[in-house]
Homo-oligomer: A and B are copies of this chain.
Amino acid sequence: MTAVAEKIRNGVDTEVMFATLDAIKADPSIATFQFRARNRWIDGAHNRSTIRDFHAANQEDTSRAEAFVLDAGEPAILLGTDTGPNPAEYLLHALAACVTTSIVYVAAARGVRLTQVESTLEGDMDVRGALGLDDDYRNGFTQIRATFRIAGDAPEEKLREVVERATKRSAVFDMVSNGVPVAVDVETD
């Protein structure tokens, strides 16, 4: 491998990665981020989020030319018309995506070239909770099972260490496992 080829590992520019870590060490104020989503109800179980701006490194980010648009829905059995994945499915996707990116970044930092990261996530729910029929059941998933299949140019033990470190550092894994305080404000017209 040439030096240039080594610089980019798993699609991550490791020089930029280590420069970013050094920049944060030199000025921790740039580590403060705020992410946002704006959502609008359309009809029934159909609603739509737009995601674009965020705050990072002491300024508003302007790098996104357009907003991302996400449609949510529910299948017929949950009274919707399947206008998009349902919110609980979006949560599983958020978790899968975050752990996957963490795996890719940790591997890049540790010199492991990956050839595959695939995952299957399952969440179990008794909807008597969310439907208000029985308080013995919580509203959300009782548990989530995530299976990651990973391959790369490192021994099995090292690949397992990468996944372990990645789950330990994943933002969404932390939030879904441990919870986050959510403050709700209501405005009526």
Contact = CB atoms under 8 A, between A and B. Distances in A.
The 8 A-B residue pairs with the shortest CB-CB distance, nearest first, are A11-B44, A87-B98, A140-B175, A72-B97, A39-B96, A179-B179, A41-B117, A11-B43
Given A118-B38, A130-B170, A87 B61 contact: no
B179 A101 contact: no
A138 B174 contact: yes
15 contacts: A10-B44, A11-B44, A38-B118, A39-B121, A41-B114, A41-B116, A44-B104, A51-B93, A72-B93, A87-B97, A90-B93, A146-B184, A147-B185, A148-B187, A163-B186
What is the oligomeric copy number?
2
A160 B63 CA distance: 37
Contact of A37 (B64, B89, B128): B89
Nearest to A36: B122
A96 to B, nearest CB: 4
A79 interface: yes
Contact of A117 (B47, B99, B103, B122): B47
Given A88-B98, A125-B33, A138-B174, A133 B182 contact: no
A111 interface: no
A53 B176 CA distance: 22
Nearest to A182: B144
A54 to B, nearest CB: 7
Interface string A101-116: 1111100000000101
Interface string A4-23: 00000011110011001100
A3 interface: no
